[in-house]
Structure 1
Amino acid sequence: MIIRLVLVLGCLSLCVAAWSVAGPFICSQQGLECKVTIFDCLDKGWLKVYKYTPSHPEDLQVSVDIRGDESGHLQPVLEASWKLKDDGGIRDLNATELNVMMWSTNANVCVRYSLKKQLPMRSPSGEKWSFSANMLVLDPEINHSNYDVSKIVVVPGCEDAIMQITRFCIERGSLWRPGITAVSRESTLAVSFTPDPLCEEYIVIVSSSSIIIDTHTYKGNQTTLNATFKLDNWPKTCCQFVIEIKPIFLQCGTDCARKRRNVDICPGPSAVKPTEAPNVQVYTFVTVGVVFFCVVLTVMMCLLCRKPRKPAVIAPPVGDEIRQPQQIKQRPKVLVIYSQDHRLYRDVVLKLCAFLQAQCGTEVLVDLLDTTSIGVVGRIRWLEWQRQQLKNSSDKTWCCAREAFRPSGGPCAAKVR
């Protein structure tokens, strides 16, 4: 397969002469076995059909330079260089060719590098294979008038709604609607589709993950074609499959457009069966009791904090009597006595104290917040000393048990002292 590099000189009316400067023609790569040929670009090889086609060249650089010919006279020559792509297509590369065309006359001249061996991916220096041509002699522009009245028209493909009804696209399957269906039966996957009247052969391809399996099927006199695949070829967990139908029409051969559909053969989620209630642990009752106590105590403290108080009456000043400053009200104190038999219960007490201080403006006396003094005087003496500090009528002592408040008169009654 031959790759062609086409260079069109549109801005310069240059005439290409099919002769070269002095010197043998060698390939630009050192040690590369190839043959250089200059000809008129007519080759019977372009009429052949090849199975594989290499990638196109890249990085074409073109310029005009001055060089001496066989007689020692300076001539304008074309300097051109290009590179080959370093991919798998280089295995099918037999030659690379530079095509130069004169704009005004459409005259063509080609420089071909024919390779004698298959090229490796890159050159021995580790770079991409590069070729150059500097043997074509040009004639300078002579200021002739140059007219170019042209416009590029792009013809839509067979995906276009209008083009689909043309004969060209119909013969390539533009109106074919296969209606692909797939059914999972036991350990097989049955694929069905409707063939096209103009196509006799199809390739059915089923893929999932990295596994691809295909099979050939032929139309004959059938109106529906079927293909069966064994699910044993896939893991049991495969549910998503991609089904492709590749038609082989006479006009496009193996390059015809494919029809595709994604299917899911796994059943829907089954109904969830009711599960037995888990065993309720002892700590669940403790947590519920603590939460209930916290809610009840919070509601009662909110009601207490919102109780209306009598406004202070200030006597108006008489004569030159100096008004006495109003006595500053002290924050009410609450002494909290609680049971310490569970860690969760102590956490609730701390949260209750934080609520009383932040929302009710109450000074809370609790041993959990004064561990320094308790460490010095002991818990009993600290408690007695705190009870002696409750002098105002708004000060209160709260005795809290885990089952909320006990009846009045009991050892843990909540009452004003």
Structure 2
Amino acid sequence: MQSYSCVRCDYTETFQSQTRPSGGKWTFSYEGFAVEPSTLYFIGAHNIPNANMNEDSPSLSVNFTSPGCLDHVMKYKKQCIEAGSLWDPNITACKKNETMVEVNFTTSSLGNTYNVLILHDMSMPLGFSQVLENKLTRTSVAILVEGSESEGAVVQLTPYFHTCAPDCIRRQGTVVPCSETSPPANKRSMLGDWLPLISVLLVATWVLAVGIYLTWRQERSSKTSFPTTNMLLPLIKVLVVYPSEICFPHTVCRFTDFLQNHCRSEVILERWQTKKIAEMGPVQWLATQKQAADKVVFLLSSDAHSLCDSACRQNKDGARENSQDLFPLAFNLFCSDFSTQAHLRKYLVVYLDGADIQGDYKALSACPQYRLMKDATAFHTELLRAARNMSMKKRSRACHGGCSLL
């Protein structure tokens, strides 16, 4: 299916020269086109009127393929999660005999149908089976195969989830020989000769393990560990605000992964809501997210452009330059809360790579401050405390609502 979108951009000021003051070519950008994952787009730009007749071309065009659901940012989007981007089937397959292959994998609650196909050289089908399961569990299926070439063949698992069937993300595994359940007779006699030595080694290993454990107990206070997260706690909404000079892929995305994977957090980032910001305006968007968020994190880092410029040079004209820096605006909107202790608990300052508060943002020193990874445990505990408070408030509201009906 083909679709078309067109935007006209008018220049509000007269160009004083054909090049930028720095000497480079003028560059222009536009944000707002909605795209589908893993889709090829033809993008064309046309200058009206022609710049120089019979000299410069008035149009440019490129082909662009949008990132798929396995991209490190896209995989956390709702559409991709429902398509199985976070599903790990952990496929194992082994050849039991010349005509039988056993395939094991973990199902998902997103769907109830799975097609298992065994392929030789990714082209010739050797066997097929369909599995029906509507809950999260470990399942096993024995598949009859044709020929003796199943060892090393590819197992292709196709899920049929509710939102993406039949085009959901396919997963693959490899057929290996099944492990033997009992050793051959000649190996048993060799094993008997080695039993005394094995016993001595086991005792020595046990003594060594006890020594290591006792040493670890004495030093565990210096180790960074995360308390076990209660999976029954609700997700807490965290608004992350950061200066524009921080490298988004290496710093912001990794910090976001830390919040989502270890702190049961639903992260709010302006980079992920550019369309809403364009519709609402940055001030209204920040005010709305402040009300919705349980915590607001000011993220500071000293990496500046060093890491980003060396590793992301190919994207220097990309999203980082085009995104709007909301850090100063957020600071000015929220700083009035810093003088009230009740409101101050909502805000946290997180330092990375030895950063510190500088310049016009000294008021942030009133907020609770954490340095990662040195204060990772304390930061993790603070977020979980917010989640527990949220859960207690919900229970309290439910109780008052139930009592009022009596």
State the TM bucket, normalised to the shorter chain.
under 0.3
Compute the TM-score of the two structures, normalised by the length of structure 2.
0.28
Higher strand share: 1
Structure 1 length as normaliser, TM-score? Answer: 0.27
The structure with the larger Rg is 1
More helix by percentage: 2
